[in-house]
Amino acid sequence: MSGYASGILAIFCINLIFAYGIYITAAAGQLNLGGAGFQAIGAYTAAVLSNAGAPVGWVTIPAAMAMSGLVGFLLAFPVLRTRGVYMVLATFAFGEVVSGILLRTTSLGGAIGIVVPDYMGLNALIISALLVTFSMFYLLSTRFGLALRSIHDDELVATVMGVNVRGTQVAVFAIGGSVAGLSGALYAHHFSFVEAQYFSSSLSIFVLLYVLIGGTQTAWGPLAGSIFFTLLPEALRIGSSWRFVIFGVAIVLTMIWRPQGLVTRDLLARLSLSRRKGSLGGTDET
């Protein structure tokens, strides 16, 4: 595999994990625009521990996930007191606060950043992305996943049916923060450098678009969104100097054509029904 292809695959794996970290909160009807803050916490936790001599994988990765998950858990309590656009603004403010703190903390490198001595190769990123993807599909198939879907569809009805809405939402903030922190730790160890400017508000917006364009109704959504936002721009980079214009038009057309995302439950149900009909038709012919 060429270095260019390896780089694109590495970015895709990190983006996919990051997208699932934001997706899990969106699956419960909560839009999180502070994703860059969680990723930054994971990246800097791994970077600091790596520079202190902690072993990569056994210490830095779990610690990064634990730290960002804890922050997500604590952040959930004030954030869940808000609704709608105010919740989006609250999570956006969180990401900006984290970025501002990192920029002004000289012990964390300030605007210069930190070199990360321990390196993780592409194979570790691919394995991590596969594990996170399968874990999300499994989680969504459990009773907890059913609770998420009920809250997403109608929070009041979910409460009437006995779902602990507040407890579930706090849990998904913690889980989402942990997964986003994992993507940050992998980014730090793979690219061997972190700087606060990378974890900007535009990163939070992009990863939320991954989820919204892909769809929040199923675990296939972040996968579709990550492919769309990671691979399509690179394909346009090779083939056209108008890639930003074409990419922007593609996003607008996608939102018009598929306002609920590229992958929805109705789409999966229709595909499943078509497969069953095809299977029955083949049986009759034989």
Write the CB contacts of 138 (distance below 8 Å, at least 6 apart in sequence): none
Nearest alpha-carbon partner for 13 in 222, 262, 203: 222
Range of the domain at 269: 3-285
What is the CA angle 174-259-87, rounded to 5? Answer: 35
- Domain total of the chain: 1
φ, ψ for residue 82 (rounded to 5)? -100, 170
Task: List average pLDDT for each run of 10 residues in the chain, which is 286 residues long.
Answer: 82 94 90 92 95 87 96 94 87 92 90 91 94 94 90 87 90 95 95 92 88 86 87 68 72 79 78 71 51
Domain with residue 13: its CATH number is: 1.10.3470
Residue 39 to residue 48: CA distance in whole angstroms? 14
pLDDT at position 285 is: 45
